[in-house]
Chain A
């Protein structure tokens, strides 16, 4: 496909933001946002080991490595929490810092053999995306990361759509889920698998920490606007797209990292929406208050007193 590099960058950024934003909606709803953060760190050793074992940058070993580490993080945190010997947030913090530290050590030991440096781990680089292309025969199909991220997006959409009810019931009412025979833990781990998959797909483009912004910001912004699922998801998608476009533009202006710029744009959008919704809310409350006091003061048949 013959698109200009700038267009490809924009497309990759949008797809990365939307797939993270969609799967992140579940994380935010389940108050598991920091588990997303933890997994985004702890997939690192999985990726390094996948590189070392397969000696390639193929998608499959990377997805397996990241999936194992992502599930491992969720499982270890759960087990540590279950011992009842420490708080769950501390358990999460211990697990992911350790795994990330091991990842960094592995990177520095095998630094000559791995095409993966510490900077790339943290903030990736979308700007290189258009030049790493895949082709079938002599037909150029476009950038590799575009297809990887599209695949991830497809998985997220299918997962969310097919298992919408299971995810909803386990997110909002675990007791009801048990009563109707939906296995809460299974869906927790299934979601974590999909989260790991999306993270690894977005890893090359936006890096470990900025993927967290893309996971949380769109749906957090959506939650400011509505607590109903449909408007929330629609807002999340819109925010993700605007964030991606704005981020690419901003990075171009200041000559900096695209992923960093996307995060900043996402943060600014969140703050603007937060302030606006707060103002609207206050305005509405005042309106309702005035309306209420007015009617109260009006005695029947008495039109003289008006608030």
Chain B
């Protein structure tokens, strides 16, 4: 435990030069890939990044064969060249054959990668002196980054950021509405091509830190996570960048705690966790959020049913002075026991019901609410029969759903549109008394 704390302190104080290097490299990479991935994600070309990354491998091998030594920059240039050729090959296959994108991606990915493996195994068996680190490009080894490598990553990241900012409006247009962009005279293929080139750059700088197999995750996952939190492009890019660099940081931290563990896979695990949290908890789109909303609505429906049932019952008897035992209320509607208990509790709490022992009756506010729900139900039935010409036996179910969601504004519009109908299609009166009373109260 103490050791763990020590390591954590050593890591986050960034006093160790090696730590600083790794953290800078993985964070820059995460930021670059995350931000750029937003565009790729929105174009539904997420897996293209995967294919390009794999296609970078033969470039590494070829550059090494030509130079005979291991230098970051030439290897990266070689990787970029073959990755970029891979991108062209994907386009060529989808354009000139009847094969679809999925087959094109799969082929380019595996053929280029296989070619890379062939070259690397050839190098391994060929007895080259300086070849030992080449395999790191497959799974990545963040710890093997030199200051020069990190500088190169930084420069390329900066270049990416500047290009994205300068071309932001054009990229946005090409991604969201290529047809409109074309009609404006924008050379779509050139901008598309620029985007592919940027992805190639992001992929190649990621080779050394996370490797060709997993770099795709850094392009896809931060963008997919960011999408859950916002509907706007600029904030989405910002979030994806933040998620990417956070994963880089935490991935580096975990592999610092246990040096035997590789950095790249941990970065992927962290970024996937961020995605899972976003998918569940993001406001509005998150699954938990949606469930809460759904349950909230269901509770409102139960409350409405009690109010409506008690209101109608009182209407039939001419007054609402009697208390109803819980069991009698349960019989008015098919409530589940827990549902009834919590709905009654909520109604007492918001002042719609009065309680006496285990007996309940409507307060005047409760009567008004019950009347409003009945009114909405019947108004909606009038609307359906008049405007959609639905027969009267088809109205009830739809109105049953709508009565809970019609807002006061919509109610006013509906009443005006239907010219204050007095009876619903089943010849039942539509009650307005308390609504008028309320309006008077508000006016005075």
Q: A85-B285, A94-B224 are in contact. Are A267 and B118 (CB under 8 A)?
A: no
What number of B residues sit within 8 Å (CB to CB) of A? 60
Q: A34-B102, A37-B109, A260-B114 are in contact. Are A118 and B220 (CB under 8 A)?
A: no
Q: Is A210 on the interface with B (CB-CB < 8 A)?
A: yes
CB-based contact B54/A209 at 8 Å: yes
CB-based contact B106/A87 at 8 Å: no
Q: Is A92 on the interface with B (CB-CB < 8 A)?
A: yes
Q: Is B50 on the interface with A (CB-CB < 8 A)?
A: yes
- Considering residues B120, B213, B264, which has the most beta carbons from chain A within 10 angstroms of its beta carbon? B213
CB-based contact B97/A263 at 8 Å: no
B226-254 near A? 1/0 per residue, CB < 8 Å: 01100000000000000000000000000
Q: Is B117 on the interface with A (CB-CB < 8 A)?
A: yes
CB-based contact B107/A257 at 8 Å: no
> Using Cβ atoms and an 8 Å threshold, which residues of chain B touch A270?
107, 111
Q: Which of B16-24, B267-275, B385-393 contacts A (4 or more CB under 8 A)?
A: B267-275
CB-based contact A105/B41 at 8 Å: no
> Using Cβ atoms and an 8 Å threshold, which residues of chain B touch A209?
54, 109-110, 113-114, 117, 213
CB-based contact B220/A263 at 8 Å: no
Q: Is B46 on the interface with A (CB-CB < 8 A)?
A: yes
CB-based contact A212/B106 at 8 Å: yes
Q: Is A202 on the interface with B (CB-CB < 8 A)?
A: no
Q: Is A89 on the interface with B (CB-CB < 8 A)?
A: yes
CB-based contact A223/B261 at 8 Å: no
Q: Is A278 on the interface with B (CB-CB < 8 A)?
A: yes
Contact among A86, A108, A119, A216 for B227, CB-based, below 8 A: A86
A45-85 near B? 1/0 per residue, CB < 8 Å: 00000000000000000000000000000000000100101
CB-based contact A98/B269 at 8 Å: yes
Report A135 CB to chain B, min CB distance, Å: 30
> Using Cβ atoms and an 8 Å threshold, which residues of chain B touch A210?
110, 113-114, 117
Within 8 A of A (CB), among B251-289: 260-262, 264-266, 268-269, 272, 275, 279, 285, 287
**Interface of B toward A, CB cutoff 8 Å:** 41, 44-47, 49-50, 54, 93, 96-100, 102-103, 105-107, 109-111, 113-122, 125-126, 135, 138-139, 213-214, 216-217, 220-221, 223-224, 227-228, 260-262, 264-266, 268-269, 272, 275, 279, 285, 287
Given A34-B47, A94-B217, A256-B119, output 11 extra A-B contacts at Cβ < 8 Å: A28-B103, A36-B106, A37-B106, A85-B228, A85-B287, A89-B45, A102-B269, A105-B262, A215-B106, A216-B103, A264-B115
**Interface of A toward B, CB cutoff 8 Å:** 28, 31-34, 36-37, 41, 80, 83, 85-87, 89-94, 97-98, 100-102, 104-105, 108-109, 111, 118-119, 122-123, 209-210, 212-213, 215-217, 220, 223-224, 227, 250-251, 254-257, 259-264, 266-267, 270, 274, 278
